[in-house]
Structure 1
Amino acid sequence: MAQTAQAVEFRSAARHGVPLYQQPQAQAAKAFVLSRGTPVEVLTEQGEWLRVRDSAGSLAWARKGDLAATRTVQVLRLSAVHLKPDSAASVVFRADKGLLLNLLDNTRTGWLRVKHQGGQEGFIRIEEVWGI
């Protein structure tokens, strides 16, 4: 029996204070609130609602309009961002756990090209972040 692979889809909170709900309805209890740029994995779609998972594994519902296609990644632990996709390359900056970085490119070599909100760009190992 053949199985088809499904692409993992991520989106980011479009603004600060995006509410996530326990059920796919505005009257449902709020599960938690996202800061602008926080990535979530999209699991399923139901009308104008998306079932999502955050980096901690928590499940909730979000309105489609509250999530943007802009891609960010969330740093999992203190990590170095390098000038080149090479661990021997000079370090551009260190990224603290929880820091959100704009995803510029997935090199498909285990490195991601990212940009800090301050404008610094560099490469980080894919296993150092969540949201890809």
Structure 2
Amino acid sequence: MKSVLSLLSVLLLSAGAILIPSTSGAQERGPVTNLPLPRFVSMKASEANIRRGPSLTHRIDWVFKRKDAPLEITAEHGHWRRVRDRDGAGGWVHYSLLSGVRTVIVEKDMLDLLARPQPDTMVIARLELGVIARISSCQRDWCELSAGGYEGWAPKTDIWGIRADEILD
């Protein structure tokens, strides 16, 4: 059965079909960019039409209106990327409206931004729920963020826009 599914995947890809990530241990690669799927990006534009399918002829389901918001790409097709936000809302967006700049959304109200990646260090700032911050780097359990002119460390568990196992230098 597994080989039949693998063959079906190869046939669909060669026909230009949309790749949907599997739940197997190996991370899938996008058929267009060869980048990992799923992966995080951010909104380059201040407004983006989110469509039902990967073309201008597909209906617009809603409009994302938050520049720099992190989005997760779950599929690729030509110049289109299927994305979802932290609430799971999503659809297809043109790749030109997305950026590789990594950002996160604060998931905990009054999140302490700390001087070092340790829970008992000085608090640099407190970030409100929903604040968008830029990622400088991430270790196993901590990410270095910048927001509102402040830089510091926050636990990965309190932000959305990075995988739990992801390390960024």
TM-score (norm 1): 0.90
Structure 1, gaps ≥5 residues long: none
- Tell me if the contact between 1:24 and 1:61 (Cα under 8 Å) persists in the aligned partners: yes
Sequence identity of aligned pairs in percent?
25
What is the rounded CA distance, in whole Å, between the counterparts of 2:84 and 2:74 in structure 1? Answer: 7
Cα offset, 1:87, TM superposition: 1.0
Higher strand proportion = 1
Report the count of equivalent residues: 130
Moved more, 96-105 or 12-21: 12-21
* Greater C-alpha Rg: 2
| TM-score, structure 2 as length reference | 0.71
Deviation at 1:3, TM superposition (A): 4.3
SS of residue in 1 equivalent to 2:96: helix
Name the SS of the counterpart of 2:143 in structure 1.
Answer: strand
Q: Which residue of 2 aligns with 1:128?
A: 158
1:96 shift after superposition: 0.8
Pick one of 39, 43, 63 that aligns with 1:13. Answer: 43
Alignment of 1:35-54 (within 5 A): 35-54=66-85
Q: Match for residue 118 of structure 2?
A: 86
Cα root mean square deviation, aligned: 1.7
Mark the runs of 5 or more structure 2 residues left unpaired by the alignment. 3-23, 29-35, 163-169
Instruction: Identify the structure with the greater helix proportion.
Output: 2
Amino acid at match of 2:104: V
Asked if 2 retains the 8 angstrom alpha-carbon contact of 1:18 and 1:36, the reply is no
Question: Which deviates more, 16-25 or 84-93?
Answer: 16-25
